Chain A
Amino acid sequence: MRLTCPHCGARDRREFTYHGPASLLDRPAPDAGEAAWNAYLHLRDNPEGESRELWYHEPCRAWAVITRDTRTHAVHGSAAP
């Protein structure tokens, strides 16, 4: 499997570290309340199909939002966060 790094292009999956869904970019305010923080920290979708994910490309240290199809592993997009 290959993933696309915004800097380096298509690279082997083993160069990347998975972090979580791209929704982690929407970090609640410190005073957003327990429910918002609970959802942010613990609740995850498990999509079949298109998934937007945060990956770290270890060799160049770039973080990327990779749009990926969980059924086919096809990468449909990759962009800096």
Chain B
Amino acid sequence: MRLDGHGLIDRTSPLSFTFDGRRIDAFSGDTVASALLANGVRLVGRSFKYHRPRGIFTCGSEEPSALVTVGRGQGQEPNARATMVEAAEGLEVRSQNAWPSLRVDVMAAADLLHPFFGAGFYYKTFMWPRAFWERLYEPAIRRAAGLGRLSGVPAEDDADKAYSFCELLVIGAGPAGLMAALTAGRAGADVILADEHPRMGGRLLMEAEEVDGLSAADWAEEAVEELASLPNVRLMPRTTVTGAYDGGVYGALQRGASDTFWRITCARAILASGAIERSIAFPGNDRPGVMLAGAVRGYLHRYGVAAGREVAVFGATDDAHRTARDLTRAGVEAVMLDAREDAPAGDGFEVLTRARVTGTTGRHGIATLTVTHAGGARSLHADCLAVSGGWNPALHFTCHHNGRPRWDEALATFVPTPDAVRGLAAAGAARGDFSTHGALAGGAAAGRDALAALGRSAPEAPLPRAEDRPVRQQAFWMVEATGRKWLDLQNDVTDKDIRLSAQEAFRSVEHMKRYTTQGMAADQGKTSNVAALALLADATGRGIPATGTTTFRPPYVPVPIAAMGAGARGRGFAPERRTAADTDHRRRGAPMIEAGLWVRPSYYPAPGETTWRQSCDREVRTVRERVGVCDVSTLGKIEVQGPDAGAFLDIVYANRMSTLAEGRVRYGLMLREDGHVMDDGTCARLPGGRWIVTTTTAAAGPVMRHMDYARQCLARDLDVSLVSVTDHWTQIAVAGPLARRLLDSLGDLPLLPFMGCAETTLGGAPARLFRISFSGEEGYEIAVPARFGASLWRLAVAQAESLGGAPYGLEALNVLRLEKGFLTHAEMDGRTTAYDLGLGGMVADKDAIGVAASRRPGLVDPDRPRLVGLVPIDPAGVMTAGAHLYDRSAAATRPNGQGHVTSAGHSPTLGHALGLALLRGGPERHGEVIRLVDAMRHVETEVRVGPTCAYDPDGGRMRG
């Protein structure tokens, strides 16, 4: 029922949405829950296990009952808390876990069987026959029990993730949070203030009180306006902080048109998350219409909604009286059922003392209740029963680093242990300071402490005046009466389940939780855990402090996976690097394959070719017989400059590089400091002083880091500088007997000897020409600035085709190098040394990285797996990379392993398969016939061991 003259909703902006098809009228500023209550809807959902009717219980993120499905299809969100979903025009809201309808749910029959479904029922009832569990019982139970359903269609990919940094993070914008943010913000600190709700103010928006002579809501509004005017303060409404992580990192979920998951790193944090009201266990306390007393007050002041027409308030605190008082003043009939002997008199409403609610009635919502009290017993009509068992500080984050809260006897609640999370201090109700004055004072003090820790001075400022009544709370958990008394409203846990758990020896609070599922639902028992452990303490006779709490873990509220993994779906999983000629490769129909973050063309299908092998074989033959062009831009390119460049390169390369003459290129080998091969490539010394280091595609990043390390950490005195130019240059390989003719058709390019290099121009653009070969044919690589890369590629392909040549992709490139026995990271696998790869002679006698360690006896043991070439005895024999090698007569078992194949493929040039392998004592076994077994792919064949280079061993073709 909507009340005139109350609430902070915008009555000039009416809107409507639907709930199970029914039109619900609302105003801007409503939540789905407040609008449902305003429209008299009490039945909102069904519980998880017994399908009991469920209504709205709270007005915040702690809501256990009012779970709904919002939207449909791509935008469908199950298990949304109606108390947190903002009402919006046209929103489609549906109830869940009920069939065929919310009011007639046939699964509610489960409730009649509840004697069989007590705590741990699935461990007992469905144990026999055993095979039935997986096939029958579990699927049936899963169908019957549950929450909302997923839509089954991919969600909208509009969630985001974001990062932020600040000096001070203030969690919660109630009186404590606002005061902390004002104190730190006015002093100039870099502050983020995050609050769950669209409008900041917390309980100040939900109570009838004054702060500094203003209504609490007006004071909050002024405070928020001032904070918004401070350039050093960022306000994050609709943002629930979800966890405290190491090093001052906090997760936070920001709701809006789409979800954003934030990682906020701060130097200090203030926990001003307020308190969560707790319920009381009594028979029939789960009916729709039974709500927390603070929530009933909240709906009145924040949304102008009376949760009922006849309201009974049941509690044991002065705070509960405020609900009866505020409702009465708003013209709603209210009666106070105070459990205390010494209950104060009502301020305009009737008070029953020593009251105990012993039962309720009403099919889809409470209609009547029975109560015993000092004056006897009574039956009351009520369509809303507001309950308060007191308040618990929302101290969850203080326990996220495994800290445990402390039981405060005077407040009958757990309070945070100070410094349980480094840099995080609780303030206000989150610390147990429940009065508004206490919250304001605590917030200001926490703000000043944070400033001091940040090395900033804190100006003294007067504290706003506010109510400061003493807070009395007592432990009042349960009414002693017969009937099911509910604790966890989402998972249907009753007092009986807790006692059963204790009886059956699940006496530890962690065991009780798992045995009964108390607190294991989506709300994690925020409104019921403390009462449950109090009952456990009672049942075991251990007392609450000795019983303790279960472990608090992030996230504080459910976080959609879509928000945590935002952007990381499909192609968003990793960035993609494309060469300048990428569109040309794709236009030719080349299947693109990943090489690290790069995508590269694997082959270029010609008309009539149906398999990759046909294309690959043709491309190899074209290079061997005519000419081929290949985009090798993905190779890492590092420019080295400075007078000490040669000396520096002598440190990073195992072989000597300083003796390289200008205009020459040399093959180089880099080792890790532990003596194993890191990478190989060419190093060119251009005339004029620049050196160009080329790395493999995969190692470009690690080699850059390694060279920076050598430069900044080991060779600090050398005058040399490095820069990565991988992305700046497009580089195209031209290989084959007609390579020179192709070059001459491109422009006036200098003649070069094998392993020569030059700077030149091509079509007016600067160009670099290297005469190097990874194919074994006469080969060149031409580099031009990337912006000319696509045109050079097109030109080179056109000229190649006019010479009977073709472009070639990664597959052909790999076969060409395999025929020559050149290395890739399949051979340089991180465990091999220069010695293993037959390059031991390259390691010069000098102080280069890895040289000293590479001479360790274990790394030059002749019996190590060392590189050899393999040829099948049967010309049709197949070889696979990854296959294992055995002596001819030995069984294919692990102890008999002699090594493995690193690379294999079909050589169209030689007409049979070829392989490279790391074989124990390899080079000494040339000529030997051994057995190759690939158990995974069912390949077994005999192969002959030989040299690594199978084609043109003396290199006459590439030297020209």
Q: Give A residues with C-beta under 8 Å from B.
A: 1-2, 10, 12-13, 17, 19, 24-25, 27-32, 34, 37, 41, 54, 56, 58, 61-63, 72-73, 80-81
Contacts and interface: CB of A to CB of B under 8 A. Distances in A.
Interface in B232-247: 246-247
A63 B853 CA distance: 24
A54 B710 CA distance: 13
B793 to A, nearest CB: 30
A31 B852 CA distance: 8
Overall SS of chain B's interface: helix
B704 interface: yes
B265 A61 contact: no
Interface string B818-860: 0000000000000000000000000000110001110010000
A58 B846 CA distance: 30
17 contacts: A1-B246, A1-B249, A1-B265, A2-B265, A12-B163, A25-B714, A30-B846, A31-B852, A32-B852, A34-B856, A37-B856, A41-B853, A54-B713, A56-B708, A72-B422, A73-B246, A81-B716
Interface centre among B248, B265, B708, B852 (most CB of A within 10 A): B852
Interface string B99-113: 000000000000000
B887 interface: no
Contacts of A73: 246-248
B133 interface: no
A30 B852 contact: yes
Contacts of A58: 705
Contact of A56 (B422, B673, B709): B709
B712 A25 contact: no
A50 B501 CA distance: 47
Contacts of A37: 852-853, 856
Interface in B242-259: 246-249
A19 B714 CA distance: 14
Interface of B: 163, 165, 246-249, 265, 422, 673-674, 704-705, 708-709, 712-714, 716, 846-847, 851-853, 856
Given A63-B712, A81-B713, 8 more contacts: A2-B165, A27-B714, A28-B852, A30-B846, A32-B852, A54-B713, A62-B712, A63-B713
A70 to B, nearest CB: 11
B713 A61 contact: no
B82 to A, nearest CB: 37
A61 B708 contact: yes
Contacts of A72: 422
Nearest to B165: A2
Contacts of A54: 709, 713
Nearest to B245: A1
For the complex of A and B, list the 10 residue pairs with the smallest distance between their C-beta atoms, beginning with the closest: A1-B247, A73-B247, A63-B712, A81-B713, A30-B852, A30-B847, A61-B708, A41-B674, A56-B705, A63-B713
B852 A13 contact: no
B712 A80 contact: yes
Nearest to A27: B714
B247 A25 contact: no
A58 B701 CA distance: 10
A26 to B, nearest CB: 11
B712 A81 contact: yes
A25 to B, nearest CB: 6
A73 B422 CA distance: 10
A62 B709 CA distance: 9
B247 A2 contact: yes
Given A37-B853, A81-B716, A13 B709 contact: no
Contacts of B853: 37, 41
Contacts of B249: 1
Contacts of A56: 705, 708-709
Contacts of A25: 713-714
Contacts of B165: 2, 10, 12
Contact of B713 (A24, A30, A41): A24
B752 to A, nearest CB: 33
Interface centre among A2, A28, A29 (most CB of B within 10 A): A2
